[in-house]
Amino acid sequence: MHFSALWPYLGLPPEKVSFVYWASMLMGYVSDGAYYCRGGFHKFADSLVTGLKQAGGEIYFKSKVSKINVCDNRVQSVLLASGQVIQAETVISNADMLQTVHDMVGKEYFPKRYLSRLQRMQTSCSIFVVYIATDLDLVQAGAHHEAFYYHELNHEVNYNNALQGEVSWMSVTVPTLLDDGLAPKGEHLIVLTALANYDQAENWQQAKADYMKKMLDFADSKINNLKSHILFIEAGSPATMQRYTLNNKGAAYGWAMTPEQVGASRIANKAPIEGLYFAGHWTMPGGGVYGVSYSGVQTAQKVLGLTRQDELWALCASTDGEL
Ligand SMILES: Cc1cc2nc3c(=O)[nH]c(=O)nc-3n(C[C@H](O)[C@H](O)[C@H](O)COP(=O)(O)OP(=O)(O)OC[C@H]3O[C@@H](n4cnc5c(N)ncnc54)[C@H](O)[C@@H]3O)c2cc1C
């Protein structure tokens, strides 16, 4: 019961989530501990950018890829929405997989079996997030860095209620309790998170305010007086997640993390087109920051033809990052 209380981390309740993926996540916490990026999670992305630039890479921001051009079953180039064409023998996509296969490459380049397998895959649910700045003394209020609250003891019920649009569970995260540099003295940041079903609302722009209010009421019942100490509040709905990530229906973890869709059962890192690879939460091994980081390592090995991971690290060290 207590072990399974962290089920929202993988977006599925105990009855549905892959036990192996769940157990490896939990063992990570038990053996290595849980880590927090000082300065906020963006620091993690920043460090990847630094590494890529040090290795001679170039990053294009706000540059949508419209097409991945293929000829004779081999990747040729990438077309940006700006019209720029970038020649490439290897393309690694971490964009939404259906978008990559159907729109960027084109269904006609993939075997029928591959397409029908994609059709059968189930997408994970999305997330509704409320971002708050408050001048409430959260240390005195007894708040924790991260706490999970549930209406029901049965997690399947909480999950099903969440899919119906109820706020039946929620996590309350207070990053400033660990990292006080994130807010001015005497103020705190709070992030309220709940799983949400993209299809539950016809128009999230209209539904957003009501959903945010429900989340805030729930949080106020756990943190006394929160509502009267709000300096700033904003929310991100499943439509927001879709808009910023272009993941289908704001899917938070790519394909749902069921036993049939994780690890070796997820879509392989190498596509059936020469030079096309996948990284991220739509491919092996699975979703979440750890899973997608690992998929990046796996895919790098495949591109370089290295069977063992230590060969990759040795190569990185010997070339000073320049591959
Ligand atoms: C609100 C929220 C909270 C989460 N919290 C956690 C957590 O606490 N811990 C955890 O482990 N996981 C968490 N997850 C899940 C985790 O964030 C994802 O599994 C992970 O970030 C996926 O990484 P990715 O690289 O596969 O894809 P993404 O992070 O979705 O990145 C895909 C990128 O591709 C870009 N893109 C898409 N299409 C195109 C295109 N055509 N051209 C150019 N660029 C394109 C997008 O803009 C985006 O930047 C959370 C997810 C959400 C939504």
Spacing, Cα 93 to ligand 1 middle (Å): 12
Q: Which atom of ligand 1 is nearest to the CA of 279?
A: 26
Q: For the complex shown, is ipTM > 0.95?
A: yes
Query: What is the chain's Cα-based Rg?
Result: 21
Angle at 301 between CA 298 and CA 303, to 5 degrees: 110
Are 252 and 282 within 8 A, CB to CB?
no
Whether 65 lines ligand 1, by a CB cut-off of 6 Å, is: yes
Are 283 and 269 within 8 A, CB to CB?
yes
Spacing, Cα 227 to ligand 1 middle (Å): 30
Residue 9: C-alpha distances to residues 29, 70, 168, 261, 319 (Å): 12, 37, 15, 16, 37
Nearest CA to ligand 1 atom 38: 95
Whether 287 lines ligand 1, by a CB cut-off of 6 Å, is: yes
Q: Which atom of ligand 1 is nearest to the CA of 193?
A: 1
Are 121 and 255 within 8 A, CB to CB?
yes
pLDDT, tens digit, for every residue of 221-231?
Answer: 999 999 999 99
Strand residue runs (E) in the chain:
65-71, 74-80, 85-87, 91-93, 126-134, 146-150, 169-173, 188-196, 230-236, 276-278
Whether 139 lines ligand 1, by a CB cut-off of 6 Å, is: no
Q: Which atom of ligand 1 is nearest to the CA of 81?
A: 42
Q: Which atom of ligand 1 is nearest to the CA of 281?
A: 26
Whether 17 lines ligand 1, by a CB cut-off of 6 Å, is: no
pLDDT, tens digit, for every residue of 172-215?
Answer: 999 999 999 999 999 999 999 999 999 999 999 999 999 999 99
Angle at 198 between CA 195 and CA 201, to 5 degrees: 110
Are 100 and 229 within 8 A, CB to CB?
no
Q: What is the mean pLDDT of residues 125-150?
A: 96
Spacing, Cα 245 to ligand 1 middle (Å): 6
Nearest CA to ligand 1 atom 43: 64
| Lowest mean pLDDT across 28-37, 64-73, 157-166 | 28-37
pLDDT at position 308: 96
Are 255 and 268 within 8 A, CB to CB?
no
Average pLDDT over the chain reads: 95
Please say whether the dihedral angle defined by the alpha carbons of residues 11, 15, 16 and 17, taken in this order, is positive or negative.
positive
pLDDT at position 135: 98
pLDDT at position 319: 74
Share of the chain above pLDDT 70, in %: 98
Which of 240, 311, 292, 265 minimizes the C-alpha distance to 93? 292
pLDDT at position 323: 57
Whether 123 lines ligand 1, by a CB cut-off of 6 Å, is: no
Nearest CA to ligand 1 atom 16: 288
Q: Which atom of ligand 1 is nearest to the CA of 247?
A: 30
